[in-house]
Amino acid sequence: MKNNIISFFISAAQTIFGEIGLGETLILENIEKRDSFEVIINIGISGDMKANLMIKTNFQSAFNIVNSMLNSINISPKEKVFGNLHKATIGEIANQISARAVMLLSKENIDCNITPPTIITGKTVKMEMFNVKNLFDTGIQGKFGDIFLLIGIKNLKKII
């Protein structure tokens, strides 16, 4: 089950990163694990699968991802640090990843919805998931830096 569930989210992230010009250099799992981050985006998943997706990273990687997306649509941000525009944009990127994963899950007849993203930032942010039956994570590294995808499944009505 692990490879099946995580593969939907990896595939979604690869597609979205490809669309914003970051897909050609992605490396999976080859990243040193950390326990604290500076940016965490949380999205709830409900329906046939009850879960949470957390995307964890540092300010520089999030800044690079956002700038790549903005550059891909010919927008030059005025902010030189990870500010409000970057927070909103990284939330939208996470939203797109989770929506794409839910679309992929629907092809397996798993009907899900997503919640709006919650973005948490700070110098050393730690966030845990409780009451989950299965917890899967993977690191993704690219020219932007690195991120970690963490999927905590509370309930899954159909085994895939």
Tell me: pLDDT of 30 over 70.
no
pTM of the model: 0.88
139-142 long-range contacts, CB within 8 A, separation 24+:
139/28, 139/29, 139/30, 139/31, 139/33, 140/10, 140/13, 140/17, 140/26, 140/27, 140/28, 140/31, 141/26, 141/27, 141/28, 141/30, 141/31, 142/17, 142/22, 142/23, 142/25, 142/26, 142/27
Structural domain span for residue 59: 2-156
Q: CATH number for the domain including 40?
A: 3.40.1550.10
Q: Specify the number of domains making up the chain.
A: 1
Q: Per-residue pLDDT tens for 49-93?
A: 999 999 999 999 999 999 888 888 888 877 788 888 899 999 999
